[in-house]
Amino acid sequence: MLPGAEDVCIVGGGPAGMILALLLARQGIPVTVLEAARDFERSFRGDTLHPAIMELLAGLGLAAPLLRLAHTRAHRARFITPARTQVIADFSRLRTPYPYLTVMAQSRFLTFLAGELGRYPHARVVMGARVEGLLEEGGRVTGVRYRQGGTLQDLPARLTVGADGRFSKVRALSGLSLRRLSPGQDVLWFALPRREDDPGGSIDLHLGGPHCIVTTDHGERWQVGYSIRKDSYAQARERGVGPIRQAVAETIPWLADRVGLLTEWAQLHLLAVEVARVRRWWRPGLLLIGDAAHPISPIGGMGINMAVQDAVAAANVLCGPLRAGRVRPRHLARVQRERAWQIAVLQGQQVIQEREVVGVHAGAQLHVPTTLIRVLHGLPGLRRLPGYVTAYGLRPVRLHPRWAVERV
């Protein structure tokens, strides 16, 4: 190890990066998180914590204090069309202390994790730190070069982890190329007030016209996602918010009385969606996790769930080698082997679903797959399956018991 080097540098202070940092810190491993933003106040980021994540936090003694913070609970996910409402995932049927999706502003969740990380003197989070280069020696990544304010600094590290999202700077600098698997789509997010007599308890995908509209209950507000064709943002902006207001009012009639509060384009936030992955998640001294390794569509809300499970897998595999001072390429490859097959299967399903949504934008009719869903929900042995896969993935990664120590 280089003199003065950290054990681990994690680039990206999102859920995956912060969870991994916390798991490593709890094992006495020095870790630094570099986050490009100056604070965690990010608009319209992923905000659903699945049962797999809540069970992880419970194992760390953190679920109860987290649930004391403001949140709502979605007990099911539904397709809604003018003809029918179809439950596609019922979390209330799951055998877990957390039979729901915990809906919490990502900024609140990350601030909570940062507070926990601050309990460890060998861990730190550096805000406003933009990575500009990788340090390398003999083909091995040995840290990063980052700018904070006007100062350029080097941070040597035994292991560098890229957890900086779908537009990962670490991935771009590493030369690990991204393979796109779908044409993608774009989503415009905005908020509308929530009223006490509004429906709740679910995350809904409304299908009633040429756009798909998602509603998520945040207690005091609705978070609304409005899908548009890929790369059509400029045309949508030229048309303004009028067509969006009209589509929401026609598709979700109970929001018609307040959609007029959407008055200007500045209230909208663009999320560029794609399904993609790198062939190899690692180089010597470097590992990519979460959307940095495999951007996932927001369909099913699986992005945070899969990213956090990547972090758990990385902790399970790498804590021992990090403590012993010898992280080898085979250890990094093992993290990918444990996770890549599941990501590939889930992304394959998302590609199919996304092509249906793209077909809607092209004028095709999107039909709810009622026959399959009715079969799954009608058979006792299968009715939990859609909810289980959404909640856990195909095979959830569990934190190794030896890492789940008591809070300090």
pLDDT higher than threshold 70 for residue 367: no
What pLDDT is recorded for position 273? 81
- CA dist 227 to 165, 180, 200, 212, 280, Å? 21, 19, 21, 5, 31
To which residue do tokens 């018609």 refer? Answer: 256
**What's the pLDDT band for 259 if we cut at 50, 70, 90?**
very high
Give CA–CA dist 273/21, Å, rounded.
27
Q: In the CATH hierarchy, which top-level class contains the domain 6-42+105-181+276-362? A: alpha beta
Beta-carbon count within 10 A of 354 CB: 23
What pLDDT is recorded for position 203? 93
Taking each helix axis from N to C terminus, what angle separates 303-324 and 329-361, rounded to the nearest 10 degrees? 170
pTM recorded for the entire structure: 0.90
pLDDT higher than threshold 90 for residue 144: yes
Decide: 136 and 251 in contact? Cβ < 8 Å.
no
Domain 70-103+185-273+366-393 has CATH 2.40.10.480: no
Decide: 2 and 140 in contact? Cβ < 8 Å.
no
**What's the pLDDT band for 43 if we cut at 50, 70, 90?**
low
Return the structure tokens found at 12: 């990206």
Mean pLDDT of the chain: 88
Burial class (CB in 10 A: 0-12, 13-18, 19+), 97: exposed
User: By percentage, how much of the chain surpasses pLDDT 90?
Assistant: 67
Using CA of residue 174, residue 179, residue 183, residue 188, what is the dihedral sign? negative
Length reported for the chain: 408
pLDDT higher than threshold 90 for residue 75: yes
Return the structure tokens found at 394: 């195909």
Give CA–CA dist 215/218, Å, rounded.
10
Decide: 289 and 303 in contact? Cβ < 8 Å.
no
pLDDT in tens, 178-224: 998 876 678 999 999 999 999 989 999 998 777 789 999 999 999 99
pLDDT higher than threshold 80 for residue 380: no
Decide: 153 and 187 in contact? Cβ < 8 Å.
no
Q: What is the mean pLDDT of residues 68-97?
A: 91
Domain ranges within the chain, ordered by starting residue: 6-42+105-181+276-362, 70-103+185-273+366-393
Say which range, 1-5, 126-130, 203-207, 327-331, has the weakest mean pLDDT.
Answer: 1-5
pLDDT higher than threshold 60 for residue 369: no
Q: What is the mean pLDDT of residues 70-94?
A: 90
User: Could you tell me how far CA 229 lies from the centroid of its own chain?
Assistant: 22
What pLDDT is recorded for position 356? 58
What pLDDT is recorded for position 375? 42
Decide: 168 and 311 in contact? Cβ < 8 Å.
no
pLDDT higher than threshold 50 for residue 387: yes
Decide: 36 and 329 in contact? Cβ < 8 Å.
no
